[in-house]
Amino acid sequence: MTEPVPSFRFSHTFSVVEADIDELNHANNVVYVRWVQETAGAHWLTAFPPGEREQYVWVVMEHRVRYHKPALLGQELRGTTWIGEVRGAQCQRFVRIERAADGVLLCEAETQWVLLDPVTQRPKRVTPEVERRLRVAVG
């Protein structure tokens, strides 16, 4: 999973909790997808504060997830995300999930998001201003 266009990388940390753990005693694969979405959402909410984000709605068109190592109960993780190619109403986003303690890669994902108009629920072109704000340092 490579990044075609340079972009700011946004990171946040979170912990593996009991509800994340499956019968194999590690975080379930579905939980990783939730963390991917939460990492992307945290970046969006930081880049576009209340009063600015309400005119946009993002939906997932496709997730591609590669699992490398398990996440275990109580571990602190770091989700890092950045923007790739933006085309029309679509935006490619990358997410890496690592153990915060040693930076070991647990999971990497590429997601295609589609921007919608909140009223019509129809695709809405990603403007150069929206793209710029997603690519610059926030927080």
- pLDDT tens across the length of the chain (139 residues): 554 556 799 999 999 999 999 999 999 999 999 999 999 999 999 999 999 999 999 999 999 999 999 999 999 999 999 999 999 999 999 999 999 999 999 999 999 999 999 999 999 999 999 999 999 988 6
pLDDT of residue 9: 94
Closest of 132, 106, 135 to residue 31, by C-alpha: 106
What pLDDT is recorded for position 95? 98
- A 10 A CB-CB count for 94 gives 21
CA distance 23 to 9: 33
Report d(CA 5, CA 41) in Å as an integer: 20
d(CA 33, CA 23) in angstroms, rounded, equals 18
The answer to pTM > 0.75 is yes
Residue 7 token pair? 């972009």
